[in-house]
Every structure is written in structure tokens, then in C-alpha cells.
Structure 1
Amino acid sequence: MAQGLNRATVTRLTPPPPSAGEALSSREKAAIIVRLLLAEGAPIKLSALPDHMQAALTEQMASMRLVDRSTLAAVVGEFLHKLESVGLAFPGGIENAIALLDGHISSSAASRLRRLAGNSGRIDPWERLIPLSPEKLLPILNGESVEVAAVVLSKLPVSRAADLLTRLPGERARRVTHAVSLTGNIDPETVRRIGAALVSQLDAQPPRAFDHGPVERVGAILNVTTAALRDDLLEDLSTQDADFADKVRRAIFTFAHIPSRILARDVPKITRVVEQPVLITALGGALSGTLAPVANWLLENMSPRLAQGLREEIEARGRIREKEAELAQSELIEAIRRLDAAGELQLVEPEEEDG
């Protein structure tokens, strides 16, 4: 908001007496600053403020008439002084505060704060709805009336709305698109109430105790077990719940899956973050067994100099115990997962028939 205001603006005004501006309220000072910014042609986005603050500011401006130059200079000087003395800024709004504290407060505490803020009526529910992932917005678009779905699409940025529209079934997408054309005369309060109702539905859902689903959790556990135990457990799972077992197999990423889940160009990234003794143990143990094709694939896609050095070290090392090899291979897999989480590489999704 301070864009357009500077010391040159202040010096153009008559220096104020010591008491100028002291009798003004905070709302009156805010109204003066906004009026001056508008007069200076500075871009300000008051729509980012909560509705009640926009209303209070507008009402205050409507009640004011003339302000003398000395008072104006005093208010501007105070405003600039406060800006220059700011040492730390906090995020505006409860949703931004919760996002800042993500990972530091529990999901139940975050849900309670959202409910309390929503019940107060002093936050825009769409500030919470618009950033939601497509996976959370799609059930709304599919489960609500086409009119509500049309309002949701209309509130989203164009690119995100287009993406969601392509994910809807053909007939549903056509009906929602037609409903968008009927939203021209909808009033802002109705849109706010629709957003509040959708937020209430989200808050009514019980908080999840785990960040990931059962498939991902079982897959992560089996990733670091021995191959023999993993095969036994998957066989038992198949007899109890074949569909769940199949999903777990697809979620599992082990040393054997590297050629099918890693792009060849990403192999050098892996060798840079894995210590050489680990590479020697992992590859050496694989070369002497059924995982030899995986080890050879890795060696073929790293730098020739490194590959030659590793082969010589593996030969000099001699026989590697199976347990040592599996531990080193698990460590290599964990390094790959860290790279994936950091966005340094992207795991290739497994085919349906894998497993």
C-alpha cells in the first residue's frame, strides 16, 4: 500500500505542527492514506482485505470531508515512520498463519482454528477453498449441484478451472459449463454463503490421523524389509485382499525396480548423493545374484570413469554378504526417495501390470 508514497511526497507538504494528526483515530488515518494513494495513482488492492474491513474503510471515507495540509503531512509521516521501523511481518489471515505453522501444530488444532474463524464470519471462505488441490476440489464438482460447481469454477483461476473441467465426465462437464453462463447475476453474498457451506463440509470431515493412506504406509514399510520377508507378506496379503495387495505392490519401490522407475539421465544425480562405499556394497552384492541386470544398468548410465572405478573396487572387495548388500541397497533407495521429494528427480509411475 505504501507504493507511491515517499519522502518527496511528504516534503511537498507544509511541515506539521507537533500536535497535527494526534486527535485522529486509526480508521481516519487509514482513510487519509488510502485517499492519498488513490490521488497519487498508486495501485492498491483493497479487495484483499476482509469484507468487514473494506466496509469500515468505505464508511469512514464517506463520513470525511476536508483534511488540511499539516494534518495530511503528519499522517503520512507517521505512516512512513511505521513502515521503516518494521522488523518482522506476520502473514495475514488465519489460513496463511496455519500454512506458516504447517508441521508445527497438529491437524486437529488447525481444524479447530479454521472452524472458529469460519464461525466468526470475518474471513472469506474462498481464501481456503481456492488453493485446494484438484483431488479435493473434484469431489465438490462431482457431488454438488451443477450451479454450485459452476460457482466454484468461476472463482478459480482460468488455468485451474480448465484443468478441473477436463477431469470431469463429459456430460457433467457440459452441464457445469452451461451453468457457468447462468452465474452472471449472482450476488456476492450468495457466493460467500456457498463458500461458507463448502468450508463447513470440509470441517465436518474427521481429521486424518496419518498423512498417507494405508497403501503408501504398508508400501513404505515393505520397502525396507528383506526381499524374503516382503515376498512372504505380499503373498499373505494376496490371499486376504488381492486388490489391496496389488496396490501395495505398485507402491513398493525397491532396488529391483530402479531400471523401470528411474530415468537413465538421473543416475548421475544418485551417484553424487550416495557415498562410494554404499555404492560398492549395493552394486557388488547385486552383481553376484539375480539383481545383476539392475547393477549393470546403473553402471552403464553413470560416468565411465566412476563405473570403472566401482567395478575395480567391487572386484577387490570380494564376496559381499547378502544382508550387507540389502542394507546398502535400501540406503540407495532412501537417497532416491529424498531426491524425488526434493524435486531433483521424478519417479516413473509403474505400469498396471507391474508387480
Structure 2
Amino acid sequence: MTDSAMMPFSAGMGGMGMSPFDESDDTPAPPPCSTDHLNGLQKAAIIVRVLVAEGVDMPLSGLPAQMQTDLTRTMGEMRLVDRNTMNAVVSEYIDMLEQVGLSFPDGLDGALSLLDGRLDAVATQQLRMLARGEFGRDSWGDLETAPDEELMSLLEAESTVVGAVLLSKLSIDKAAGLLARMPADLAQALAMSVAETDDIDPDTVARIGAALAQQVSDKPVRAFAKPSTRRVGEILNSTSSDLRDRLLAGLESVDRGFATGVRKSIFTFQDIPARIDTRDVPTLMREIPPDDMMFIIAANAEEDQATIEFLLTNMSRRIADTLREDAAALPPPGAKQKNETMVRIMASLRMMVDAGTLPLKPIDEEEES
């Protein structure tokens, strides 16, 4: 806790009326009270509680976030403190303040503010990078692992020279993937700008990397990692087709944009032919238990026929024939059994997609609209 946060308390001691820890001159001094049973956070919590009671405005927001969290949690855990202990903690703190002869700014940022205008530009830049934790930090490594969507936003927002530096520092596969996703005119402009990076000095490249990495990492903390459209879509993936269609129709009537985003996140058994390449069907079929596939074939649902034929046609002919023959010997399953089997199949498929072992073809925007 900074000195400035506590000085009003000690400075105003003489002018206050009877405070919770004042003793009149004719009151016998209480016996000395030990504070050894309290840790530093508990003592700080007592001081803060007394200052709040006295109406002192404390800039606690200037403390590190973890310290604010620890202090608040400690205050939430404490209940009653007797008067002697409170007086002892306050006296301890006042004695500490009276021994302070000089205070320095809190951290490197504070020191830079104090010396603003007194350092040259190079030293200031280096110190600011150090204050942000960028010396010793692998900024380009952070950018290499950043999601493509965030890097695309950077490439579209920054100058083409900065974008060319970014592409040049990324791995070849990462850079190629980004070029393939962007409009042709932007890709051409960035490719041309690579020629302008030959004479850029290493310090400039390092500063660009630090600035871009800061933009990527400087995101607000969110309770949910996935966007709302994807969360709703994944829930609907596990519902029956009738319920899914009803809910989508309702969403469409209220918010078409949100409904469109949800629809993009939905991936059902019927979507497999449009979203999975024929070359990846054998990979998928290795993860689907044969019994589940036979169950779906035996159900003989009209809406599943296109997907069943797509899968059987693009896998081993011998295995496909065996599945057909074994399914023909099974009695048609009920709707509940079929739905449970479908959920298991799609759960396996979604795990493969999330793990990156099964790529999906993008949704055709024109067809969807």
C-alpha cells in the first residue's frame, strides 16, 4: 500500500475527534498487545478497514491487481478484531510512517513518470518496453501462436510495411495460411511491401513485434472463451432436428444476424457431405464405432440417406458392404435410440474437428443467404 494512500490518516490523527483507537489522558494505557499472530495482509486489511471508517479516500486501484485481490479476499475472511489488537496494528503502522524519510514511485512506470522529459528518447523507449515486460519476452512467438482471426485484424488495420514485417517473421506455413485467407489486393500489397523491409534495423523489428504482441494480448478478460453464437450452435447440435428447427426459426424472426451466426456453428449429421472432404471420410469412419453406424443405417431415415451414401461411397468398399449387410439384419431403432446414437457420432466428429485432425470446408455464404 502506498504512502500517499495512508498519509491522510496519520496526518489527521491530531485533529480527529475520538477515533476507535483514541484513549483519553485519564484512561489507563492498555497492556501491550502482540500482533505476531497476524500476517502482513491481515494487518493491511485492519488498516484499510479503519481508514474506510474514518472516511479516508484510498487509491487502492493503484496497487497491483493481485494485491487488490488478495487484500479484498483477506477482508472478506476476517470477522471481529478486538480493540487492543486494532490499536496495536495502527500504532505499528504510524511508527513505520514516522520513520519514512523519502518515498519513491511504485514500480518502473512510476519512475518513468517522475523522470518524464529528463531522459533521452532511446532510453525512455527501452525502459517502457522493459516496464511492459517485453525484454526477455518472445513477442514473435506470441504472435506465431495467436489465432489467425486476430492476426488478420492486425494485417488489415496496420500499414502494409508493418504487415510485411509480421508476415516475414511468422513461420512460412502461418504466413501462407494468412495470405490465402485475405483479399487478393491486400495479399498483393503485402507481398510487394516485403521488398521495403530489407533495410529495417533489428531494433525497429523488435519494437514492431512488441507493439503487435501487445495488441494481441491486450484483450479484456471474458467469462466465456467461445462467442455466444457458437455456444448456442453447439447446444443445438445435440438437440433433435425438430427442436433445432423450431429454435432457429424463432431466432431468425428476432435477430437474423445472430441466427445466421448460430446456423454457421451448427454441424449436424446432414451437414457432413457439404463440410467434409471425401478424402477425410476414412479418417472419420475410423473414429465412429461400427455399431453406431449400423444403427443409423438401420434407422433408414429419409433425411439421413444422403449422408449415409456419402460416407459409404467414400470408404473401403468391403467395409461399406459389411455395414450394409449387418444393418439389414437389425430391427429399425426407435427415435430416442437413433437420436442418442447420432449425438455420440457427432460428439466424436466435433472432438476431431476441435483437435484439428478433421478439417471442415467453409460454409458457402452465397448458398446460405
The normalised TM-score by structure 2 is 0.53
Identify if the C-alpha distance between structure 1 residues 257 and 208 changes in structure 2 by more than 3 Å, giving closer, same or farther: same
Residue deviations 1:145-167, cap 9 Å, x none? 44433443443456655665565
Return the match for 1:222 from 236, 240, 244: 236
Identify if the C-alpha distance between structure 1 residues 251 and 171 changes in structure 2 by more than 3 Å, giving closer, same or farther: closer
C-alpha deviation, 1:275, in angstroms: 2.7
The AA in structure 2 aligned to 1:348 is K
The AA in structure 1 aligned to 2:151 is L
Q: Who wins on radius of gyration, i.e. which is larger?
A: 2
The AA in structure 1 aligned to 2:225 is D
Task: Work out the CA distance in 1 between the residues paired with 2:181 and 2:301.
Answer: 47
Contact 1:282 1:326 in 2 (8 A): no
C-alpha deviation, 1:330, in angstroms: 1.8
The AA in structure 1 aligned to 2:340 is L
Moved over 6 A (4+): none
Which stretches in structure 1 are left out of the alignment for 5+ residues? 1-114
Return the match for 2:215 from 182, 195, 201: 201
Range with greater deviation from structure 2 (338-347 or 238-247): 338-347
Match of 1:210 in 2: 224
Contact 1:284 1:325 in 2 (8 A): no
Match of 1:332 in 2: 345
Return the match for 1:262 from 256, 260, 276: 276
Identify if the C-alpha distance between structure 1 residues 121 and 329 changes in structure 2 by more than 3 Å, giving closer, same or farther: same
Range with greater deviation from structure 2 (300-309 or 318-327): 300-309
The AA in structure 1 aligned to 2:228 is P
Identify if the C-alpha distance between structure 1 residues 131 and 239 changes in structure 2 by more than 3 Å, giving closer, same or farther: same
Q: What's the secondary structure of 2:133's corresponding residue? A: helix
Task: Work out the CA distance in 2 between the residues paired with 1:162 and 1:279.
Answer: 38
C-alpha deviation, 1:221, in angstroms: 1.2
Match of 1:351 in 2: 364
Q: What's the secondary structure of 1:291's corresponding residue? A: helix
Range with greater deviation from structure 2 (267-276 or 115-124): 115-124
Q: For this pair of structures, how many residues does the alignment match?
A: 240
Task: Work out the CA distance in 1 between the residues paired with 2:322 and 2:171.
Answer: 53
Match of 1:49 in 2: none
Alignment of 1:317 onto 2:330: yes
Contact 1:118 1:125 in 2 (8 A): no
Contact 2:143 2:216 in 1 (8 A): no
Alignment of 1:242 onto 2:270: no
C-alpha deviation, 1:328, in angstroms: 0.8
Alignment of 1:295 onto 2:308: yes
Task: Work out the CA distance in 1 between the residues paired with 2:284 and 2:179.
Answer: 38
Contact 2:284 2:358 in 1 (8 A): no
The normalised TM-score by structure 1 is 0.55
Residue deviations 1:40-99, cap 9 Å, x none? xxxxxxxxxxxxxxxxxxxxxxxxxxxxxxxxxxxxxxxxxxxxxxxxxxxxxxxxxxxx
Contact 1:254 1:330 in 2 (8 A): no
Identify if the C-alpha distance between structure 1 residues 142 and 282 changes in structure 2 by more than 3 Å, giving closer, same or farther: same
Contact 1:223 1:252 in 2 (8 A): yes
Residue deviations 1:281-310, cap 9 Å, x none? 22212x144433433444444445444444
Contact 1:278 1:332 in 2 (8 A): yes
Match of 2:143 in 1: 129
Task: Work out the CA distance in 1 between the residues paired with 2:259 and 2:174.
Answer: 34
Residue deviations 1:3-22, cap 9 Å, x none? xxxxxxxxxxxxxxxxxxxx
The AA in structure 2 aligned to 1:280 is M
Range with greater deviation from structure 2 (189-198 or 145-154): 145-154
C-alpha deviation, 1:239, in angstroms: 0.6
Q: What's the secondary structure of 1:346's corresponding residue? A: coil
Task: Work out the CA distance in 2 between the residues paired with 1:160 and 1:293.
Answer: 36
Alignment of 1:188 onto 2:202: yes
Match of 1:140 in 2: 154
Which stretches in structure 2 are left out of the alignment for 5+ residues? 1-128
Match of 1:108 in 2: none
Residue deviations 1:119-169, cap 9 Å, x none? 263335334334544432232222224443344344345665566556555
Range with greater deviation from structure 2 (261-270 or 172-181): 172-181
Task: Work out the CA distance in 2 between the residues paired with 1:134 and 1:257.
Answer: 25
C-alpha deviation, 1:253, in angstroms: 1.5
Tell me: higher relative CO, structure 1 or 2? Use CA pairs within 8 A at least 6 residues apart.
1
Alignment of 1:282 onto 2:296: yes
Range with greater deviation from structure 2 (313-322 or 164-173): 164-173
Q: What's the secondary structure of 1:119's corresponding residue? A: coil
Task: Work out the CA distance in 2 between the residues paired with 1:131 and 1:303.
Answer: 37
Identify if the C-alpha distance between structure 1 residues 318 and 245 changes in structure 2 by more than 3 Å, giving closer, same or farther: same
Task: Work out the CA distance in 2 between the residues paired with 1:155 and 1:117.
Answer: 24
Q: What's the secondary structure of 1:317's corresponding residue? A: coil
C-alpha deviation, 1:227, in angstroms: 0.9
The alignment-based identity, stated in percent, is: 38
C-alpha deviation, 1:322, in angstroms: 0.8
Residue deviations 1:164-219, cap 9 Å, x none? 55655566566656655554554333333333333333332213433332232222
